[in-house]
Amino acid sequence: MTKYIIRRLLGIIPTLLVIITISFFIVRVAPGGPFDGERALPEVVKRNIEAKYHMDDPLLIQYGRYMFDVLRGDLGPSFRYKDHDVNFYIFQSLPNSMILGVIAISLSIIFGITSGMLAAVKQNTWVDYLSMALAVVGISVPLFVIGPVLQYVFAMRLGWLPTSGWFTAGDGWKTIILPAVTLAFADFATIARLTRSSMLETLRSDYIRTAKAKGMKPSAIIFKHSMKGAMLPIVSYLGPAFAGIITGSVVVEQVFRIPGLGKFFVQSSFNRDYTLIVGVVIVYSVILVIMNFIVDIVYSLLDPRITYK
C-alpha cells in the first residue's frame, strides 16, 4: 500500500512539470506581451519591457529560472499590478474559492448520491422521474443560466437570500448558499445519473440475487451489499468533478461577485497579465492533481480487487 502511494506520488511529478512547462511557453511564445496587441511593438519599447522582466535572456535560462522559482513556490511578479507579486493575489483569493468549492462538491455528492439511489431503488416511480428530471436540468442548463435564474427568483423576487457578495455584513453565511447551489448543480446531475445507473447495474448483478436468495432485507441489500460496488464509478468520477467545480467557479464567482481565484483569473486574462494567469493555472492544476491522487487512493481502498503491485 505504501509502495503504491509512493509510486502514484512519483507519477504526479511529470504531470506537474508538463503543466509548468506549458505555462512557461504559453507566456513566452504568445504573440506579444501584456503591453501590446496583435501588432508587434517598436523595438525600443519592446526592449525596455523585456529588460525589465528578464525576457531578453536566452530562452533556456529563462525557463530554468522560471522552473526554479515555481518549484520554490514563487510565481513571479505580476505584469499588471505593481504593488504585489502573483503569490500575494493568489493567496488572498484562494481561500474564498476553496470554501465555495468544498461546499459545492459536498452538496453535489450528498444530494447526487441520495437522489440517484432513491431513483434506482424506486425505479419507474415519480421519485425516479423527479430526480432524473432534475438531473437532466442540471446537465442541460449551463451554470451561467442557473446562477442568474436562482439569483432572480430567490434573491430579487422572493428576497430570501442576498443577490451577491461574500460574507458581507448582515448576510454572513447566507451569501454562500446561492453560489454553492449553482456550482453544485452540474456535478449533482452527473453524480445522480451515474449513481442511478451504477446502482441499477449492481442491483441486477448475481451477488445481489444471492443476497436476496439468502433472505436479506431490501435495506440491508442496498446499504450493505450494493453501496460499495455502486459507489466505485462515482469515486472515479470525482476527478473530473473537481475539474468541473474549478471551471464552474470561474463563472459562479463572476455572477455572484465573489472575490475568488476564478474572478481574478478572468480579470487577468482580460488584462493579459500572463504571469498572473499562469500562476492561477498552476495553482488550479496542483489542486486538481492532488485531488486526483486522493481519489485514486480512495478507489483502491474501496475496491478489494485492486492490488498494489
Partner 1 sequence: MNLFNKKKTKLEATNEFNQVVVGNSLTKDAWRRLKKNKMAVISVVIVSIYILLAILAPILPIYPYDEIILDHQHLKPSLSKTSGELLTEKKMADLYTQAWRQGRLKVTPEEDDMLWAWIDSSNANKVWDYMFIVGSEQIADGTYTFTSAEKRTIDNLEKKLKTDLQITVKKVWHTNQETGKKDNVAKLPVEQVVEIYAEMVGTSVEIVSEQYEREIEQQLVKVIMAQNPDLTPEEYLLLYDKELESMSEKEHDKLVKENVLAKISSRAKEIASKDLKVAATDESAVFPLDKEIIIQGSLSADVEATKMHDRRYYLGTDYQGRDMLSRIIYGGQVSIAIGFIGTITSVFIGIILGALAGYLGGKVDYFIMRIVDIMYGLPYMLLVIIAMAIFGRNILNLFFALAIISWLTVSRMVRGQIMSLKNQEFIEAARSMGAPTWRIIFRHLVPNSLSVIIVFSTLRIPSFIMTESFLSFLGLGVQAPYASWGSLVGDAVGGMTLYPWKLFFPAAAMTIFLFAMNFLGDGLRDAFDPQSKNQL
Partner 2 sequence: MTNATSPDTYKRLLEVKGLQTYFKTDAGIVKAVDGISFTLNKGETLGIVGESGSGKSVTNLSIMRLIPSPPGKIVGGEVLFEGKDILKLSEGELRHLRGNDISMIFQDPMTSLNPFLRISTQMIETIRLHQSMSRREALAKSIEMLKLVGIPAAEERIHSYPHQFSGGMRQRVMIGMALSCEAKILIADEPTTALDVTIQAQILELIQELSKKLDTAVILITHDLGVVAGMCDTVCVMYAGKIVEKAKTDDLYANPSHPYTYGLIQSVPRLDKAHDGKLFSIEGQPPNVIDLPPCCPFHPRCHKAMDICRTQYPPTKDLGNGHEVSCWLFIDEKEHSHE
Backbone Cα Rg of the chain: 24
DSSP state of 34: T
Mask for 184-223, x = binds partner 1 (CB under 8 A): ------x--xx--x---x----------------------
CA distance 5 to 1: 6
Could you tell me the three cell numbers for 299?
Answer: 478507489
For the CB of residue 258, give the shortest distance to partner 1 in the complex, in Å. Answer: 14
Q: Which stretch binds partner 1 (CB under 8 A): 81-89, 91-99, 213-221, 243-251?
A: 243-251
Could you tell me the three cell numbers for 81?
Answer: 499590478
CA distance 305 to 141: 38
* The one among 6, 9, 45, 301 contacting partner 1 by CB under 8 A: 45
For the CB of residue 49, give the shortest distance to partner 1 in the complex, in Å. Answer: 11
CA distance 195 to 210: 22
Which of partner 1, partner 2, none is residue 193 near (CB under 5 to 8 Å by kind)? partner 1
CA distance 168 to 293: 35
Judged by CB under 8 A, the chain residues 118 through 137 that form the site for partner 2 are none
Is residue 92 near partner 2 by the rule CB under 8 A?
no
Is residue 229 near partner 2 by the rule CB under 8 A?
yes
CA distance 31 to 247: 25
Residue by residue, DSSP assigns 77-113 as: B-SS-SSSBHHHHHHHHHHHHHHHHHHHHHHHHHHHH
Mask for 179-218, x = binds partner 2 (CB under 8 A): -------------------------xxxx-xxxxxxxxx-
Taking residue 21's Cβ as centre, other Cβ atoms within 10 Å add up to: 13
Question: Is the Cβ–Cβ distance between 275 and 81 less than 8 Å?
Answer: no
Task: List contacts with partner 2 (CB under 8 A).
Answer: 204-207, 209-217, 220, 224-225, 228-229, 302-305
Task: List contacts with partner 1 (CB under 8 A).
Answer: 14-15, 18-19, 22, 26, 30-31, 35-42, 44-45, 136, 139-145, 148-149, 151-152, 156, 159, 190, 193-194, 197, 201, 243, 246-247, 250-251, 254-255, 265-266, 269-270, 272, 274, 277-278, 280-281, 284-285, 288-289, 292
